[in-house]
Homo-oligomer: A and B are copies of this chain.
């Protein structure tokens, strides 16, 4: 049933980006600056697929605005001459507590896809999480940047043989952790995907068989394909048995599930609303981050994605208790703008922003941030 892809196969997608010279990175001084030129370069359907959310996109919008509910509390007159952005995640070093969240099909953004992303991430010393739905195969991505830290994000498929094969391939290719996505029992209802009848075409996925998954009788069901509808806590143990790697659960939004996760021996809980692409009217990650951190009680690391764009956002999340944060779209835009160089530029910006921000907070490393460094914007201490 699996249709092997040769490792040099280029992904074939119907929404392949135009072959244009890279954007001038000079005027790009923040991650959001990548967005407009990326949009201009991407196929409109690919843009819509990346940028859109589920249902009325309340959650998508709220995820950007939710940060405004928090305020940093900077301390002064601290010697910050030795400030570093470096920290450890899952016990190993990273240059920054920010990594690349998994996103499907980087080749919609740039022909080099996840291979370009991998090279930039490895050069920057940050973690890349590669999606089950990556354009290039797991080994291809690893080969592109041997020294990098890489995790594998697993969409549990109905075909358990495939699930196991994917995990084993990740282990073989040196991936360091399995990130199991738990918020996609079914795909979210996405207006834009339905309107555009989004279909990247066979061969768009580097890890999956080349069947044409979209052509079914019921068009909506075809486009919004069922995923891990029957995945439960007890099956996690089986997945874990396939690989001697830490397991991260991505898509937790409640204290109850966070507690269950650590009770089930998970190594890290990743707070996420899936980029606003699954259920609408759920919280932005940062809104429930403290709830989850408190429930975990230090028994696992906690990560967050959702609207992280600038260093002050990172500081808020870390002060609330996240060990690291992740983002996906900004790096897709950077990839679309200039391939590997774009993503590298993005991390260059983040490093500058973060080092300064830590110093202005009066801390010398990410791990020194505490709840005393953050408060709700509407709080009154008087």
Residues of chain A whose beta carbon lies under 8 Å from any beta carbon of chain B: 27, 29-30, 32, 55-56, 58, 62, 67-68, 70-81, 83, 182-183, 185-189, 191, 194-195, 220, 224, 229-233, 236, 249, 251-257, 260, 278-283, 287-288, 290-291, 293-294, 309-313, 315-316, 352-353, 355-357, 359-362, 372, 376-377, 380-382
A74 contacts B360, CB within 8 Å? no
Bound-complex Cα distance A32 to B355 (A)? 35
Of the candidates A55, A68, A233, A260, the one having the most CB atoms from chain B within 10 angstroms of its own CB is A55
Residues from chain B with a CB closer than 8 A to the CB of A278 are: 360
CB distance from A262 to the nearest CB of B (A): 13
Contact across chains for B77 and A236 when beta carbons are under 8 A apart:
yes
A76: which B residues are within 8 A, CB to CB?
182-183, 185, 249, 251-252, 257
Q: Which B residues are in CB contact (< 8 Å) with A55?
A: 30, 310-312, 353, 357
Q: Is the CB of A189 within 8 A of B356?
A: yes
| Contacting residues, chain B, for A27 (C-beta < 8 A) | 195
Please, could you name 11 A-B residue pairs with CB atoms under 8 Å apart, sorted by A?
A30-B55, A73-B283, A74-B183, A77-B182, A78-B185, A80-B186, A186-B359, A189-B353, A189-B357, A279-B360, A280-B312
Contacts of A62 in B (CB 8 A): 377
A372: chain B residues within 8 A (beta carbon): 256
